[in-house]
Amino acid sequence: MPRLGLATIVSAALIALVLAWLVWPSLFTGYSPITGDSAQVFQPPQLAHPFGTDHLGRDVLARVIYGTTQTALTAGLAVVVGLVLGVIVGIASATLGPAADAVSMRVVDALIALPSFMVALLVVSLYGAGPLSLGIGVGIGSIVLFARVTRAEVLRVRALDFIEASQLAGAGYWRVLTGHIVPHISGSVLALAVVDFGAAVLAVSALGYLGFGTPPPTPEWGLIVAEGRNYLANAWWMTTLPGIFILLVVIALGVLGRYVGKASRV
């Protein structure tokens, strides 16, 4: 196992905190994410309200904590869509012969020609705003990454001597695939999934900022940032602090993904 650096430890601690918010948000705040206090409107960051309060007197940190659920579930759906479809395309391309490889790679090339953000916008526009269509749209945009990485990893593993030995011993396609190839590519795919989860969080938040995510007043990270854009002059914390937190989470996921990738190659 590679050595744990300070950045990896800090990143793991931050993601562990986010996961705790996801499982038990009420443990970390006593404020409601929906109901505000008119006497606490536009309170700056302080001990009682570390992220300040918004224009309705709601605790911004409480909204970030409770918004973790919606953002994480939508981003998780996007990763699942991209991982499942991308891995299927990548394995088919690398193992089913030249014809399957040509068709699969042309599909991937077509997706590459379209920016993933635009694909997500297209899906959301066609099927309406909401977490389900948003997660599927962002996930479709990440199929390319999973397909290309999976194809490259399968081709690398297939060239190893033990795969040829297994085939010479009489192992069939499914035996080789499930018993040898999939276990050996799982580390790289998992590392990519961690990194892609960070990218999905960023994409979901960006689309939520534009109004394509969960409708208010349900808290969601992109929506929370969007709610403060009209009050930057006198309540900078409404946008700045949640935005910085989202950025830190994305960076932490990238650091953890890099560590998982190194660990899988050891």
Whether 209 maps to a domain, the answer reads yes
Residue-level pLDDT at 106: 86
**Confidence (pLDDT) at 158:** 87
Distance CA 185, CA 160 (A): 13
130: which 2 tokens?
């909401």
Instruction: Grade residue 109 by pLDDT with cuts at 50, 70 and 90.
Output: confident
Instruction: For residues 183-208, give the mean pLDDT.
Output: 92
Q: What is the pLDDT of residue 149?
A: 93
User: Is residue 167 assigned to a domain?
Assistant: yes
Is residue 31 one of the residues assigned to a domain?
A: no
Whether residue 91 lies inside any domain: the answer is yes
The count of structural domains within the chain is 1
- Within a 10 A sphere around the Cβ of 208, how many other Cβ atoms? 25
In a domain, 28, yes or no: no
Q: Could you tell me the CATH number of the domain that includes residue 236?
A: 1.10.3720.10
In a domain, 25, yes or no: no
Q: Which tens digits make up the pLDDT trace of 219-234?
A: 999 999 999 998 998 9
Residue 195 makes CB contacts below 8 A (sequence gap 6+) with: 253, 254, 257, 258
Q: What is the mean pLDDT of the chain?
A: 90
Give pLDDT, residue 265.
66
Is the separation of the CB atoms in 228 and 245 below 8 Å? no
Residue 105 lies in a domain: yes
Q: What percent of the chain has pLDDT over 70?
A: 99
pLDDT of residue 122: 85
pLDDT at 203 over 70: yes
pTM above 0.75, yes or no: yes
Q: Are residues 100 and 154 in contact, defined by beta-carbon separation less than 8 angstroms?
A: no
pLDDT of amino acid 162:
81
Confidence grade of residue 12 (pLDDT, cut at 50, 70, 90): very high
Residue 133 lies in a domain: yes
Q: Which domain holds residue 185?
A: 6-19+49-264
> What is the largest distance, in Å, between two alpha-carbon atoms of the chain?
77
Assigned token pair, 180: 């040898």
pLDDT confidence bin for 266, thresholds 50/70/90: low
pLDDT at site 28: 95
The phi, psi pair for 59, rounded to 5°, reads: -70, 120
